[in-house]
Amino acid sequence: MNPNVLILCTGNSCRSHMAEGVLRAAAGDLVEVHSAGSKPAGYVHPKAIQVMKEIGVDLSGHVSKHMNDFLNRKITTVITVCGNADQACPMFPGQVNRHHWGFDDPAHATGTDEEILQEFRRVRDQIRLVFQAYAAGLKEGRSL
């Protein structure tokens, strides 16, 4: 059984799903990847789905989940991706590896539709760099 990685955010509508998609694609079958939120929005943001599709990652089947859904699972690693200081990043109970890699929340972007899409792409690209590097470390046999 592969180790479980849980990526947490507040709303589980953008950043955590993008990170889940990137890590799942980059790490392959080395880990089981999940995402959740402390206050789930109840949906995956359509623009997150759109910009991930641009890089070949399909989030269309994802759903917003609460972190409590994972309390009875053996979670090896928790990664929080909340970026703004005014957001409450959730903490997960138990003895797990923890990482915090904060990213801006593109759901708060303002401007024209194209400007908002550019913000989603910018955050996606940052997430992609970090989580592909993390996956490369996993492939080299480093610990979670």
User: What are the φ/ψ torsions at residue 33 (nearest 5 degrees)?
Assistant: -110, 135
Burial 24-41 (b: 16+ CB within 10 A, else e): bbbbeebbbbbbbbbebe
Select which of 89, 96, 116, 117 is catalytic.
89
Select which of 82, 123, 130, 138 is catalytic.
82
9 is catalytic: yes
Select which of 5, 6, 8, 9 is catalytic.
9
14 is catalytic: no
Beta bridge partners of 33: 5
Q: What distance in Å separates the CA atoms of residue 142 and residue 48, rounded to the nearest whole number? A: 30
From residue 143, how far is each of 133, 136, 139 by CA, in Å? 14, 12, 10
Residues with a known catalytic role: 9, 82, 89
